Amino acid sequence: MAKKDESYLEDEVIEKYKKLESLIDPDLEEFKIKDQDDLIEEDDSDTEQVDVTKFMVTENVNPDEFNWENVTKRGDVYSSDERTKLESLYNETLSTIEDGAVLDGTVVSQNKREVVVNIGYKSEGVININEFRYNPELSIGDKVEVYVESQEDKTGQLVLSHKKARAMRSWDRVNAAHDNSEIVKGFIKCRTKGGMIVDVFGIEAFLPGSQIDVKPIRDYDIFVGKTMEFKVVKINNEFKNVVVSHKALIEAELELQKKEIIAKLEKGQVLEGTVKNITSYGVFIDLGGVDGLIHITDLSWGRVNHPEEIVTLDQKINVVILDFDDDKKRIALGLKQLTPHPWDSLDANLNLGDKVSGKVVVLADYGAFIEISAGVEGLIHVSEMSWSQHLRSAQEFLKVGDVVEAQILTLDRDERKMSLGLKQLRTDPWEKIEEKYPISSKHSSIVRNFTTFGVFVELEEGVDGLIHISDLSWTKKIKHPAEFTSIGASVDVIVLEIDKENRRLSLGHKQVEENPWDVFESIFSIDSVHEGVVMEVSDKGSVISLQPYGVEAFATNKHLMKEDGSHTKVDETLEFKVIEFSKEGKKIVVSHSRIFEDKKKNEEVTVQKNTEKSMKKVKDKIEKTTLGDISELAALKTEMEKTEKNK
């Protein structure tokens, strides 16, 4: 209990004694107060309760009639009715409280550790100062809510709690603050993922990082331990979640400021602002209550990869207003517009055909942008990078950061456009194409691309040619060039035709070797038999590779039947007979079944001839028939019958 000074106790005791004196009959002279100064004794027990039995009272009675029992009762000279009346009067001066009650009290004293609160009870309660840390402005005389934990502990102390009282009333107060849009105070306890934890009415509420201020917060720790005003923006009663916002309190005021600022804006007006935020697409500038955006393309006349190359956070810069929208409150700002356009200072003597040098700043599939000077760029289209008619990607010729020399092809100062060329600085290889690549000359080339009808090859940079699919091989039937070669492979070619005007070369690969069909005519003659390997099988027939030359022939399905009635299979090696040969059409037709069919026919012809010879002999000897001749004839008949059965 808080210790009171002696003067305070003296006044209180005298006041209470006067009330007691008023209850005594003034006609009774037997009771007199000896001395008021003797009413106060030193309070060594540090308590503010006063024992009236300590009063020194003199009684004018006969010594013989003196009641010594009253002395042992320490001056208890009141009747039971008087005492009841006195106790009732005394109790009326005190508040009636119960354990667990929530009451309002008044702060009567406080120090660095404790706060003393008077709730009208016979003694004050002491509360730890930590329970009021959310309210650093607490002062003597403030009304606070307290929870009565105990009317009297072991030491006779009234035990109060402000934290528990707030917790019991907190949800009602939070809901009321949300419904009425009231401003509440909260103590920021600590950081958490995405924001802060705030103590509001004893409830831990969540303060999102985006709701702390209208400006981006870079250091959340500076807010920990602070007491701020908030607005309750969301409550989830099911999960007991509360979301508060400090930003919402200042947005309304800022909205009025925005309207005032926007009302004074004019296009072309130059203002000073502070870099508030930097993104990949631009920079947000604080103009003093309203934000504007400088798009990345409006930061510099030159090429900018990221706004951080031009500005830094919190930097103060001058900007020009390009446009604004009153309805959407959007303001478009520019920085580069404060300086002259580089095209305006471009060399006036620069003309078509002049050579310029610059750095590659952007690469695309269709070309490269070359920065001649800051803010002045020219485009080299991919078709102007090489004399080759086979278009490729610009990445194959250049990379970002390369310094190149190019020739001006077009120059439009009004539109601020310039086209450049690289190949114009090199000799055109087609100017002397007939001298370097005459017809029938042999050369080495690199395969660059495939089509269904042929192969595009490169003889040198800028000189491409086509090998038709029919000119790839003398002996093989090629359905697609990928069956014969691959991209990047080296192929020997013969120049067949030159079209200088259209920059075209007709090339052949098979012409590198002599035409083998001149020799095949004598090797693969009709009815000649050769060993072959079945390469492909289709509904119409099979492709046969005749060994050892590798020339391809064709056999229909009826010519693929084996002697045992089965069909041929892929990779099977058999003998084939040539039944058709065309030198002009480069075509050979073969048959496997024809081999055993012809053999069978030959055997039948042989038997028939032998039979005819035998019959002739019989006729010649028929006139000289004898018993031995008859036996011979019977044997001949039997042989003929066997022959018929075998057929």
The upper half-sphere exposure of residue 53, i.e. CA atoms within 13 Å in the direction of its Cβ, equals 10
Which CATH entry fits the domain spanning 429-512: 3.30.70.890, 3.50.50.60, 2.40.50.140, 3.40.50.2300?
Answer: 2.40.50.140
Q: What is the model's pTM?
A: 0.39
Distances in Å between the Cα of 109 and the Cα atoms of 49, 105, 227, 530 are 20, 12, 22, 123
Distances (CA, A) of 272 to 216, 240, 319, 455, 620: 19, 46, 6, 64, 139
Q: Which helix (H) or strand (E) holds 633?
A: helix 627-646
Average pLDDT rounded to a whole number, residues 596-619: 73
Q: What is the pLDDT of residue 181?
A: 84
**Is residue 643's pLDDT more than 80?**
no
Looking at the domain 102-167, which fold is it?
OB fold (Dihydrolipoamide Acetyltransferase, E2P) (2.40.50)
Using one digit for the tens of pLDDT, what is the confidence trace for 540-556? 888 888 888 778 888 88
Asked if pLDDT for residue 52 goes beyond 50, the answer is: no
Task: Tell me what the pLDDT averaged over the chain comes to.
Answer: 78
Residue 217, pLDDT above cutoff 60: yes
Q: Which fold has domain 342-425?
A: OB fold (Dihydrolipoamide Acetyltransferase, E2P) (2.40.50)
Report the pLDDT averaged over residues 332-355: 84
Instruction: Please determine, for residue 105, whether its predicted confidence score (pLDDT) is greater than 60.
Output: yes
Distance CA 16, CA 78 (A): 16
Nearest 5°: phi and psi at 37? Answer: -65, -25
CB 428 within 8 A of CB 459: no
Q: pLDDT per residue over 421-478, tens digit each?
A: 888 888 888 888 888 888 888 888 888 888 888 899 888 877 888 988 888 887 677 8
Domain 181-250 matches domain 517-591 at the CATH topology level:
yes
Place of tokens 């009567």: 108
pLDDT of res. 37: 44
Contacts 24+ apart (CB under 8 A), 221-225: 221/191, 223/188, 223/196, 224/188, 224/189, 224/190, 224/191, 224/196, 225/187, 225/188
Homologous superfamily of the 517-591 domain (CATH) = Nucleic acid-binding proteins (2.40.50.140)
Task: Answer yes or no: is pLDDT of 13 > 70.
Answer: no
Does 332 have pLDDT greater than 50?
A: yes
**Rounded (5°) CA angle 31-34-40:** 120
Distance CA 228, CA 230 (A): 6
CA 629 to chain centroid: 111
Residue 91: predicted pLDDT: 63
Convert the pLDDT of each residue in 281-292 to its tens digit: 999 988 877 888
Q: What is the pLDDT of residue 20?
A: 52
**How does residue 243 score in pLDDT terms, banded at 50, 70 and 90?**
very high
Residue 8's pLDDT band, with cuts at 50, 70 and 90, is very low
Which pLDDT value is given to residue 41?
A: 41
Q: What is the DSSP string of 318-350?
A: EEEEEEEETTTTEEEEESGGGS--GGGGS-TT-
- Please give the full DSSP string across 53-90, using - where no structure is assigned: GGS-EEE---GGG--HHHHHTTS----HHHHHHHHHHH
**Average pLDDT of the residues in 118-129:** 85
Instruction: Name the band, by pLDDT with cuts 50, 70 and 90, for residue 295.
Output: very high
Amino acid at site 49: Q
Cβ-defined contacts of 611-616 (< 8 Å, 24+)? 611/640, 611/643, 614/640
Q: Return the CATH number of the domain spanning residue range 265-338.
A: 2.40.50.140
- Is 261 in contact with 330 (CB distance < 8 Å)? no
- Overall average pLDDT of the 619-630 stretch: 58
For the chain, the helix, strand and coil percentages under 3-state DSSP, each to the nearest 5:
30, 35, 35
Q: What is the mean pLDDT of residues 201-225?
A: 84
- Decide if pLDDT at 179 tops 70: yes
Per-residue pLDDT at 206: 93
Give percent above pLDDT 70 in the chain.
Answer: 81
Of the candidates 50, 61, 151, 168, the residue with the CA atom closest to the CA atom of residue 99: 151
The pLDDT, as a whole number, for residue 629 is 59
Q: What is the pLDDT of residues 157-168, one digit of tens each?
A: 888 888 888 777
The per-residue pLDDT for 51 is 46
Note the CATH architecture for domain 181-250. Answer: Beta Barrel (2.40)
Question: What is the per-residue pLDDT for 283?
Answer: 92
Delimit the domains of the chain by residue range. 6-91, 102-167, 181-250, 265-338, 342-425, 429-512, 517-591, 598-646
Contact, 559 vs 537, CB < 8 A?
no
For 561, which DSSP code? B
Minimum mean pLDDT range among 9-23, 30-44, 117-131, 410-424: 30-44
Q: For residue range 379-401, list pLDDT tens digits in order.
A: 989 888 887 766 678 888 888 88
